[in-house]
Amino acid sequence: MTPEFLIEKFQLEPLPIEGGLFWRYYSADENIPHAALPPRYTHAKLFSSAICYMHTPQTRSLMHRLKSDELYHFYLGDPVTLVLLYPDGLQRVVTLGSDYAAGQLPFFVVPRDVWQGSRLIENGKWAFMGTTVAPAYDDDDFELGDRAALLASFPDARAWIERLT
């Protein structure tokens, strides 16, 4: 298995703004009416959506947060470091991968409103993952992290913020 094969097989393209390579392979065909959604959403939304996603040594997922929970699924390749900055000031770093005995996780849920960013582990070659969001992701749900604001709120996470902004 090679990253080139996966890029071609799944038609992965650069993910604008955030970074990495992706393909949105699922979008529900039913909507949730705006009136039935929490106030944080500005319009009706599809039930759910899912993407496959790849990291290479040249990519990273910049710090961002979403209005919905995001479920990560690790498929193949080298481990990925996922950095989380919670609204209460807590920071957490988890490793997505297949070495469960070493504490790596095959899946992880990033709660809504938690800042998140990711990259391959040091010297990693590639990783193939997926994420699922419900209600479905759209661009109105995405907020890119501002380095100065994140450093002011999370000074102990300086090294990660500087790498992922």
- The pLDDT tens digits of the residues spanning 21-68 come to 999 999 999 999 999 999 999 999 999 999 999 999 999 999 999 999
Whether residue 135 has a cis bond before it, omega within 30° of 0: yes
Mean pLDDT across the chain = 96
Asked whether the predicted pLDDT for residue 19 surpasses 90, the reply is no
pLDDT digits (tens, 9 = 90+) for 92-138: 999 999 999 999 999 999 999 999 999 999 999 999 999 999 999 99
Domain spans, the chain: 3-33+42-163
* DSSP-based three-state secondary structure for 153: helix
Q: What is the average per-residue pLDDT within 80-93?
A: 97
Task: Compare 87 and 16 and report the one with higher pLDDT.
Answer: 87
The predicted pLDDT at position 96 comes to 98
The pTM (predicted TM-score) of the whole model is 0.94
The predicted pLDDT at position 161 comes to 97
In the chain, the amino acid numbered 45 is: K
What CATH number was assigned to the domain covering residues 3-33+42-163? 2.60.120.10
Q: Compute CA distances 42 → 33, 34, 45, 71, whole Å.
A: 11, 7, 9, 22
The predicted pLDDT at position 17 comes to 87
The predicted pLDDT at position 87 comes to 96
Report the distance separating Cα 92 and Cα 132, nearest Å: 21
Report the distance separating Cα 137 and Cα 66, nearest Å: 8
Nearest to 122 by CA among 55, 66, 32, 54: 55
pLDDT digits (tens, 9 = 90+) for 152-165: 999 999 999 999 99
Report the distance separating Cα 18 and Cα 123, nearest Å: 21
Instruction: Write b or e for each residue in 92-108: b if 16 or more Cβ atoms lie within 10 A of its Cβ, otherwise e.
Output: eebbbbeeeeeebbeeb
